[in-house]
Chains A and B, each alone.
Chain A
Amino acid sequence: MNELIKKAVALLESDSVQVIIGYAEGTGTRTRAIFITRTADCENLIFDSRCVQNLAVYLTKSEIKKLGKPAIVAPIPVLRSILQLAVENQITENDLVVLGITPQSELVDFESFAAIEAFLSTHQIVIEEKYQETIREIKAMPVTERFAYWVKELEPCFKCYACRAACPLCYCTRCTVDNNQPQWISVASHPLGNLEWHIMRAMHLAGRCTDCEACYNACPMSIPIHLLTKNMLQDVTENFGTYGPSLDKLNTLSSFKPDDKESFIR
């Protein structure tokens, strides 16, 4: 990614940005986020298929904001998150430079968020068939068996909240799980507390989730929580039309159509 490095150097040299948020080699074969403030460090920038962490999460972290205006290395999932963060008034165009990366690993410049949206319109969110299949299998279980399946899957969850911390859209100052007036859901990590937490997390991402899988990738216990959001994404699409972050569209749950269809209200 020489081009990326050159671009990063240029941005820092011209003081267009003060920090480059990108990927670098990590422990062993892993990659990690890197925050480059000096041109000399730009050569550490890499990009390849191992770079799956969603860097957009750093755009709202106060520690990173302090470093100054960022340029962010943004493959598709990051671009989607950037757009959704823009929709939710968390970032503005002047706040950052986006170093877009196409699925062919080409560097692409974006003049505006609208340009990102135009680009993403040709890269719609698609739930992979293997996940669709898993979701179908789960849904085909009898209801009590399905419940037991999830209680068991969620059992290892000890509420480290890595799923929340890694999600670019979980940027709340105070998460509702940490609210004790009232105590909405159980803080404790036990079957009910875990179930409630994951229901709440998924619901709070309804119509917002961009399917980056950061939550699942972050989970130290490899709990398939991304199936919940993927299922919701399918539900959104089925019920309210195709979904993807869009600057002029309202959030799925803060908007409605008078003729939204359902089959269960008497």
Chain B
Amino acid sequence: MTEFEPKIIAFVCNWCTYAGADLTGTSRIKYAQNVKIVRFPCTGRIDFMLLLKSFGEGADGIIVSGCHPNDCHYTSGNFHARRRWIMFRGLLDMLGIDVRRIQYSWVSAAEGAKWADIVNSTVNTIRELGPYTEYEKVAGYLEKEAKQ
């Protein structure tokens, strides 16, 4: 049996984390291939619905990352995002959606090493948690024959 390779999607802002991940590249710091980045203008733009969609489309884990508080390119997008995440996380937790599968972080344009660390530690966490079978079962309901 081949080892479980987690599918992880990263939602990052253009100004801090995307640039930070660029720095990881220019610094040639290695990290796992499992994480793939989608670029947003700002964490404020990251709709909770996209996180929901990611699980529905088979993500095992999600990274959401942007500028540190007070460093937002748009001054307050990350503050809005933070509130949204607090509420969303609470709701997911209530519903039994494993909040350990979503890693939120602040990674600045200067934190190339931190980005690599976030990626690697998230991949390790998800590897330990294993594939998100509970959610896949729910999402793949139609693939197996409907009971009714």
Query: A residues near B, CB below 8 A?
Result: 135, 138-139, 141, 143-151, 176, 184-186, 188, 190-192, 195-196, 199-200, 202-203, 206-207, 227-228, 231-232, 235-236, 239-240, 252-258, 260, 262, 264-266
Among A139, A254, A257, contact of B93 (Cβ-Cβ < 8 Å): A139
A254 to B91, alpha carbons, bound, how many Å?
18
Is B106 an interface residue when CB atoms closer than 8 A count as contact? yes
B106 and A265 form a contact (CB under 8 A): yes
- Going nearest first, the 10 A-B pairs with the smallest beta carbon separation are A146-B96, A147-B96, A256-B79, A235-B90, A266-B105, A191-B138, A265-B104, A206-B87, A231-B94, A192-B139
A138 and B94 form a contact (CB under 8 A): yes
A186 and B134 form a contact (CB under 8 A): no
Among B52, B87, B146, contact of A235 (Cβ-Cβ < 8 Å): B87
Is B83 an interface residue when CB atoms closer than 8 A count as contact? yes
Q: Is the interface of B mostly helix, strand, loop or mixed?
A: helix
A81 to B52, alpha carbons, bound, how many Å?
28
Query: B residues near A, CB below 8 A?
Result: 48-49, 52-53, 56, 69-70, 76, 79-80, 82-99, 103-106, 118, 134-135, 137-139, 141-142, 146
B96 and A203 form a contact (CB under 8 A): no
Q: Is the interface of A mostly helix, strand, loop or mixed?
A: helix
Chain A residues with CB below 8 A from B142, complex form: 188, 190
Chain B residues with CB below 8 A from A227, complex form: 94
Chain B residues with CB below 8 A from A200, complex form: 49, 52
Chain B residues with CB below 8 A from A176, complex form: 49
Q: Please list 25 pairs of residues, one from A and one from B, whose beta carbons are closer than 8 Å in the complex, sorted by A's number.
A: A138-B94, A139-B94, A143-B98, A146-B95, A147-B96, A147-B98, A150-B96, A191-B139, A192-B56, A199-B91, A200-B52, A202-B91, A203-B91, A207-B87, A231-B91, A235-B86, A239-B83, A239-B90, A252-B83, A254-B80, A256-B79, A262-B82, A264-B89, A264-B104, A266-B106
A262 to B87, alpha carbons, bound, how many Å?
10
A144 and B83 form a contact (CB under 8 A): no
For residue A147, which residue of chain B has the nearest CB?
A: B96
Minimum C-beta distance from A203 to chain B (A): 6
Minimum C-beta distance from B121 to chain A (A): 8
Knowing that A147-B97, A203-B88, A265-B106 are A-B contacts, what are 19 other residue pairs whose CB atoms are under 8 Å apart, sorted by A's residue number? Answer: A143-B98, A144-B96, A147-B96, A148-B96, A149-B96, A184-B49, A185-B49, A191-B138, A207-B87, A235-B86, A235-B91, A239-B83, A239-B86, A239-B87, A240-B83, A258-B79, A262-B86, A264-B99, A265-B82
A227 to B91, alpha carbons, bound, how many Å?
10
Minimum C-beta distance from B93 to chain A (A): 7
B138 and A195 form a contact (CB under 8 A): yes
A265 to B79, alpha carbons, bound, how many Å?
12
A257 to B142, alpha carbons, bound, how many Å?
43
Chain B residues with CB below 8 A from A252, complex form: 83, 87
B85 and A265 form a contact (CB under 8 A): yes
A118 to B70, alpha carbons, bound, how many Å?
35
Chain A residues with CB below 8 A from B96, complex form: 141, 143-150
